Amino acid sequence: MILNRLRRRKPVETAGIPLSLEELGAHVLVLGTTGNGKSFSTRGILKAFMRAGHPMVFVAAKQTEPETVLQLCREVGCEHRFMKISPHGPHKLHLLKHLLSYKDAYGAAEFLDRVKEIGTRGEKGKHDPFFGQLTTETTQMGIRLPQLVGSEPTLEDLMMVVKTSPPSLEVAASEAFVEGKMGLCSQLIAHASEHYRKEDEHDLKSVLTFFMQTFAGIGEKARSAPLADLTGSVGRLTSGAFRGVFDTETTVDFDAIERERKIVVLDAPIVPRNPTNQMFQAIWLFCFQEHALRRDPRQVDKAIVLVRDECQELVHASWDASVTAVARSQKLIHFDLTQHVSGLKTAFGGEGTTPETMSFIANHATVLGFGNNCHETNRLITDLIGQKRTFQFSGGGGKGGEKPTGWYDQALGVSGGGVHWSETYLPHVRPEEFLSLPRGVAVMISAGRTFNGLPYHVCDFRE
């Protein structure tokens, strides 16, 4: 029984668990229904990372999160390292300029596609692969066209280029469009056609072919898909409270944040669900991840710790899989908290996404399971822990003769006399036990480790 293990618990090394911070560096996943203590119980672990001098980035899932993190900093004595990034604050990022400093237009378009997917995943209906690829190509060409005239494209430029592109082949071939008299797209195409550099000739041909033939000739319905996608993603990030945050200047230095070991809170609550805030959080989160993947880990003293509460709101199946595969060698740690497996499945697209969900979970070497009323989650943790071999005995009158004696019988001391035994396998921890776990108690498994000969450990964070 789980509670019996509590009484035999050994002294621990890091805030209630028998693992060092280095061992926790292979990513941590915390599962538990609201109210079972996963947030307050893991604060000790997060404070241990703070004391050790790790730069950290917190996703503020709830409105109270920034104040909670600030309080943790005060308790550790590192309040001077606290930094808050919010839509209304002084911290800005010229997103396209930043992305194009280390990737091409297609890479920038893929980045924006990931952000869009985070912001639209709760909407009904599946995205058509054809229109998804069309949106990516439209975004790529919308970024590349201003570059061909020597301009640094902004998100607003991208929107205007696509909106003012020719809606039909007739318009594309018209004298007014060719002479640059029909909006931004027309002006840029006319200028680029006359003043392009020799090395840009191939790119110019691709851009002209796309806007004046492909995109102009696909019809109104097909054109509406990428236009709607860009309005729903880029449009949100260039209007309202977010105007100027990602489109004017860059005041954030990712190298300095890491060098000064800042503890950053992304302050744009995503619970209850807020698509625009989700995209705001996703942009900063992806940028921190890409920063970690681009730098030389040999020059890094402490790994960056990314803390994602309600992580199902921000995970991206293919991107997370590629990041976590190399994150440890790049000194990047993910500390993820979520309620249950079904929430992750919903984030990845609903039924049929079990492989993606299991891949995400498997990328976390350490899993902490708190009390949960989700049978699927409890069954998963039980399966991860594994089974133990047990023997069952039964006796009888010995009718029909004695059972033949084998070496197992002799070893067990039960041969003949109508005594029978059988070998069976039972789970170390039964799924139903998670229904009665006290608040603040969790079952932990960590890949490749045993605890007093067992593949799991019971952590009592109430102490």
Strand partners, 445: 367
* CA distances to 44, 253, 434 from 431, in Å: 27, 47, 6
Q: Dump pLDDT digits (tens) for 248-307.
A: 899 999 999 999 999 999 999 998 888 999 999 999 999 999 999 999 999 999 999 999
pLDDT at 144 over 60: yes
Closest CA to 14 of 335, 435, 363, 430: 335
Q: Is 70 helix (H, G, I), strand (E, B) or coil?
A: helix
Tell me the pTM.
0.88
More reliable by pLDDT, 185 or 131: 185
**Percentage of residues in the chain having pLDDT higher than 90:** 65
- Mean pLDDT is lowest, of 85-99, 109-123, 147-161, 272-286, for 109-123
Predicted pLDDT at 9: 47
CA gap 276, 242 in Å, rounded: 9
At 239, is the pLDDT very low, low, confident or very high (cuts 50, 70, 90)? Answer: confident
* CA distances to 97, 148, 196, 299 from 172, in Å: 29, 19, 20, 52
Q: Which residues contact 17 (CB under 8 A, 6 or more apart)?
A: 24, 45, 368, 444, 457, 459
Predicted pLDDT at 122: 63
Q: Is 423 helix (H, G, I), strand (E, B) or coil?
A: strand
Predicted pLDDT at 409: 58
CA gap 67, 64 in Å, rounded: 6
Predicted pLDDT at 266: 96
Q: Mean per-residue pLDDT for 13-35?
A: 84
Q: Mean per-residue pLDDT for 423-432?
A: 87
Residue type (1 letter), 259: R
Mean pLDDT across the chain: 88
At 443, is the pLDDT very low, low, confident or very high (cuts 50, 70, 90)? Answer: very high
DSSP 185-249: HHHHHHHHHHH--GGGHHHHHHHHHIIIIIHHHS-HHHHHHHHHHHHHHHHHHTSGGGTTTTTS-
DSSP 420: E
Beta-sheet strands, E only, within 301-405 = 304-308, 332-338, 366-369, 387-394
